[in-house]
Every structure is written in structure tokens, then in C-alpha cells.
A and B are shown apart, each in its own frame.
Chain A
């Protein structure tokens, strides 16, 4: 599957762009601030209607413009589909999303164009607090399963209220009965979130371990660290609910003292290990980079499993950080049918046998015929 054509109108620093793309590897090079990330951002936006860095659609609109549009043609096995997104940001935000000119919901786009965005910041997933790893998992599951996103948001609604009530109870114990009511909602939504995560962990463990071995030559361990003590994989909903309730009971005193909820999916973590040691604390820089890369490649595999199409891999500035061996490994993925779009500040010699190269300059993209000075 691959994007064969991309169209942008007033998207970020692109006034008007029409770009023909080939399957396989495409390299976009150009100076800082020329528009490389913007280009990959547009591809990801067409897959998810979310931005890799902006909070709001407004930021995607070229400064001074009142509306923007993005569109692409996606070829797959001889058939092709066209995604179009038109967004007016003024006077009010209005979005029109179509596939082959038929209006669709956001969650339909990823079925046509699954995509994974890689950035050097992926390293934070390994190095930083558990929040970034939960975000990775939540975002992945939310795209595979819109119902998961709804449950998670209900859980977060209940959690915010519960934390508020915990703080109030200290001065006004009459809030206790409200707390009991909220616990019911928290446990119901939270158990469903946990159950879905645990099911996904089975696949994720296998994929991360395999992709890590693929790029670094040895397997990597992955496990789910649950704050309510539920098992690695499986675990039925009832069992999870019961453990969640017990855990809330057990920590009730400490929770009221601290005014926060101490157990539930918002306190869980994904732990990556090499030879039994946590990559986060003991991994070398290279191992941590490989682990981040493995997580994202596993994301690609999970999307492929869910939608039956090989996701487009959007590699923003990450290639320059990999050594020769791992770079070759990643690029070899195009032999398995992935389209790969790469950005770099300079052309890269001997990147891969047939790379299409483009030069990006001030919001325009031109095909680039070889770097030879002859």
C-alpha cells in the first residue's frame, strides 16, 4: 500500500503542493524550517485527523489563510482510494472529510491509510516517566478501537472528579457517599480499559520482541506493570474489577490523605527489559534508541494486524541517529511492502538501491536527480 499522490492547500507553510509519490523509499531533504516535518505531518493528519505536534487544527492552517485542505490518493493492490480533508478555521472550525467523495468519520481514515510517525522524541517513551508509555499504548488502541478511546475518556472524567472528591472529603466527610458512587463508575470504565490493554499486550509483547531482535539482534522483554496487580495477559473483566475494587479499598486512607487516586490504569506502565534489566535505567543510548524504534515498528505491525494494510512509515529526522546496520534494517522494511517517507537535512549517499529523492525549499518540493556534480 502506498500514497501515490499528495495535495496540500494552505497547510502550514505550503500554499499549494501537488506531489507524485512512488512506492518504496522517498527521501525529503532540505534546510531547517523548509517544510519537511510539515509534509510528514500532513500525511499523518490524513491518517488520523490529529497532528503530531499541534493541539488544534488552527495551527495547521497557513498563517493568514482561513481554510486549508489536504488530500491524497492511496494505492493498494491495483485499486485506489482518495482521501480529502477540507478544514475552515474561520469564522468557526468546520471539517469535511471524505473518502472517494463520500463523507466519513475520522476513524475510517486509518482503514484507508494506516500510518506511523517516527521522531527523535520517541526516545522519551523509553527514558521518561510512565505517562509517555501509557500515551503510546492509549493512542495506538484508540486508533484501532474507537470504543477504547471512549472508555478511556470516561475513565479520565471519573478520575478527575474522584480526585476532587478525595480532596474535599478531608474538610467535609459528607462527600464520602459521592465517592462511593464515583468508585462504581471508575471501576467499570477502568476495568474495561485495563482488560483491553492486557489483551493488546499479548500482541505487543510478541511484536516488540521480534522487531527489537530484527533491528538489534536479540530479543527484548516487555511486560505490563499493573497498579492493581492483575496478570500479564488475559484476565477476565470480573477478575480485573474485583482486584481494582480491592485495591481502592486497601488504599482508601492514603488516598484521602494525599487527595489522589493511587490505583487504576492511569498508574500502570509498560516495562521493557534486556537480559532482565530495565532498558529505561540500564540501557545504553543505542539500546534505548532501538527500543523506541521497536515500539514504533510494533505499532506498525499492530495497525497492520487491525486493518490488513502495511502502514506508511513516516521517519522524521530519525535516520541520522541510527548506525549503518540499523538504518539498513529499517529501510529493508520497504521490501516487505511498506512505503517509507524520510526526512533529513542533506541528501544521503547510498541510502538504498532505489530511493526517490526530493529537495524541500520554502514550502515547495522538487524531484532531485542524483547528487553527482558531473
Chain B
């Protein structure tokens, strides 16, 4: 495909940067968009622009939102004495889909990953410590992955939180070793939430 019009070529290159999209898929998507007509492309452009302008991170929990604080943090019906700590916004989505959790979230934006040189300073840990210092929070649920990076992060947090007199719990290993939260089905999430155990 050497004779692609320059503008389509640029579109393909941008699409390729998306996760799970290889060169062939990118090309198929680009052709599909181009032939789908002006109207449908305008809608996509408008949606992209809106997301760019409105979506940001919640200043309280770090989740993706188009209002600050986010709808979950602002919801008076949610139990503000429990915070579920996750690594990424997609993990919040997994919990919300399962629909079992009525507390608040805290998104770390990553794991401690020594192999990539990512240390605790690069995560939203200070923000979490500040949040719990108000005294309203009674329990922290650590919902990090069961792999080594997830476990390291959980142990690190437990050590930092325990001295503050909080109940610190960990999701039960209903999830097999190394399995990611966002691949787990709703039933698994429910069960591992129910069977969470206190960390010592």
C-alpha cells in the first residue's frame, strides 16, 4: 500500500497508536471512516473534541470525569467510610459494572513497577493519605492485581495506612495468580469483594 493518499495515511498512523489496533485494522478503520460519509465523521470529530475539552481526572479520587469532583465522589448515597483503591480508571469501571460496591474509589494511576523504574512517588499515594486523614474513612480495600507488582503495591500501601488506625483489607484471591481485574467477570469481582480479608 504505497499509494495511500497522504491524509488517509496520517489517519492510519494515528489509529495505529490505539491499543489493540494493528496496521491492518487501522487501515480498515480508516477506510471505513472515510467512506462512511461527512455526517458520521463530523459526529466522531465532535465526540473527540468534547472528550478532549471536558474529560479530566477527578481531583479527589483520580477517576476519569467530566465534572470535578466526579459523580461518584459527589453522590450522597455512597458510603464515604470505605475507599476502594485501584490502579487504573478501567478498574473503577469493572467494579461499577459488577455493581456491588457502594463506597468511594481512589485511583493510583499505576503500580509500583521496579522493572520500569516506577516507584511509589509516581503514584497518587500522598493524595490517598491526605484523603484518609480527615478521619471519616474507616476501611480501605486494596483492589490491586494479584501479580507481583500489584501485591508489592498493596503491601506498600498497607504499611503506610496501618499506622493511621484504619482497617485495611485486600481482595480475596478469587482471581487466579496474575489475572487482571478488567478481565474478571462480574461474579468473580463480587465474590472476591465479599471474601476480602484484613491484611496483617
Q: Name which of B31-39, B102-110, B113-121 contacts chain A.
A: B113-121
Please name all residues of chain B whose beta carbon is closer than 8 Å to the beta carbon of A181 when the two chains form the complex. 112, 152-153, 155-156, 159
Contact with B along A147-159 (1 / 0, CB 8 A): 0001000100110
Residue of B nearest to A147 (CB): B177
Contact with A along B143-159 (1 / 0, CB 8 A): 00001110111011001
Could you mark each residue 178-197 of chain A with 1 if its beta carbon is under 8 Å from any beta carbon of chain B, else 0?
10111011000000000000
| CB of B159, distance to nearest CB on chain A (Å) | 7
Q: Quick check: A174 and B152 within 8 Å, CB to CB?
A: no
Give 13 new A-B contacts, CB below 8 A, not counting A157-B147, A161-B148, A181-B152: A161-B114, A161-B115, A168-B114, A177-B156, A178-B114, A178-B120, A180-B159, A181-B112, A181-B153, A181-B155, A181-B159, A182-B152, A184-B155
Give Cα A164–Cα B156 distance, bound, in whole angstroms: 17
Cα-based distance from A174 to B121 in the complex (angstroms): 9
Confirm or deny: A175 has a beta carbon within 8 angstroms of a beta carbon on chain B.
yes
A160 touches B156 (CB 8 A): no
From B114, B117, B120, contact of A182 by CB (8 A): B114
Instruction: Report yes or no: A185 in contact with B114, Cβ–Cβ below 8 A.
Output: no
Within 8 Å of chain B (Cβ to Cβ): is A165? yes
B153 cross-chain contacts in A, Cβ below 8 A: 181
B interface residue numbers (CB < 8 A to A): 112, 114-115, 117, 119-121, 147-149, 151-153, 155-156, 159, 177
A3 → chain B, closest Cβ, in Å? 34
Find out whether the CB atom of A157 lies under 8 angstroms from the CB atom of B148: yes
List A contacts of B115 (CB < 8 A).
160-161, 164
Cross-chain contact A185 with B119 (CB below 8 angstroms): no
Contact present for A185 and B156 (CB under 8 Å) = no
Residues in B with CB closer than 8 Å to A182 are 114, 148, 152
Contact call B151/A174, Cβ cutoff below 8 A: no
Complex contacts, B148 vs chain A, CB 8 Å:
154, 157-158, 161, 182, 185
| A174-B119, A175-B119, A181-B159 known; A161 vs B152 contact (CB < 8 Å) | yes
Chain A, residue nearest B112 (CB): A178
The answer for the CA separation of A160 and B148 in the assembled complex, in Å, is: 10
Chain A: minimal CB distance from B93 (Å): 27
Complex Cα gap A119–B41 (Å): 64
Instruction: Kindly list the 6 A-B residue pairs having the minimum CB-CB distance in the complex, ordered from nearest.
Output: A181-B155, A161-B114, A157-B148, A164-B114, A181-B156, A181-B152
Question: Is the CB–CB distance between B112 and A150 below 8 Å?
Answer: no
Min C-beta distance of B155 to chain A, whole Å: 4
B158 nearest in chain A by CB position: A181
In this complex, which of A157, A165, A180, A181 has the most chain B Cβ atoms within 10 angstroms of its Cβ?
A181
Which residue of chain B has the shortest Cβ distance to A182 in the bound complex?
Answer: B152
Closest to B155 in A: A181
Q: List 22 A-B contacts (CB under 8 A).
A: A157-B147, A160-B115, A161-B114, A161-B148, A161-B149, A161-B152, A164-B115, A164-B117, A172-B119, A174-B119, A174-B120, A174-B121, A178-B152, A180-B155, A180-B159, A181-B153, A181-B156, A181-B159, A182-B148, A182-B152, A185-B152, A185-B155
A177–B177 CB distance below 8 A: no
A165 to B149, CA, bound (A): 12
Q: In the assembled complex, which residues on chain A have CB atoms less than 8 Å from the CB atom of B151?
A: 185
Asked if B177 and A150 make an inter-chain contact with CB atoms under 8 angstroms apart, the answer reads: yes
| Whole-angstrom distance between the Cβ of B112 and the nearest chain A Cβ | 6
CA distance A184 to B153 in the complex (A): 12
Give the Cβ gap from B47 to chain A, nearest Cβ, in Å: 32
Choose one: B147, B156, B177; the contact of A178 (CB below 8 Å): B156
Q: Find the B residue at minimum CB distance from A181.
A: B155
A154 contacts B114, C-beta separation under 8 Å? no
- A280–B117 Cα distance when bound, in Å, is 40
Give A88 to B58 CA distance when docked, in angstroms: 47
Residues of B within 8 A of A180 (CB): 155, 159
Chain A residues positioned under 8 Å from B177 (CB to CB): 150, 154
B-side contacts of A160, CB under 8 Å: 115
Minimum Cβ distance to chain A for residue B168 (Å): 13
Residue pair B152, A177 in contact (C-beta under 8 Å): no
Query: Which A residues between 124 and 161 are near B, CB-CB below 8 angstroms?
Result: 150, 154, 157-158, 160-161
Shortest B197–chain A CB gap in Å is 15
A70 to B159: give the CA distance in the assembly, Å. Answer: 52
**Contact yes or no, B149 A178, CB < 8 A:** no
Chain B residues, Cβ within 8 Å of A172: 119
Q: What is the CB-to-nearest-CB distance from B200 to chain A, in angstroms, rounded to a whole number?
A: 11
Q: How far is the CB of A147 from chain B (nearest CB, A)?
A: 10
CA A182 – CA B150 in complex, angstroms?
Answer: 11
Cβ A168 vs Cβ B156 within 8 A: no
Residues from chain B with a CB closer than 8 A to the CB of A157 are 147-148
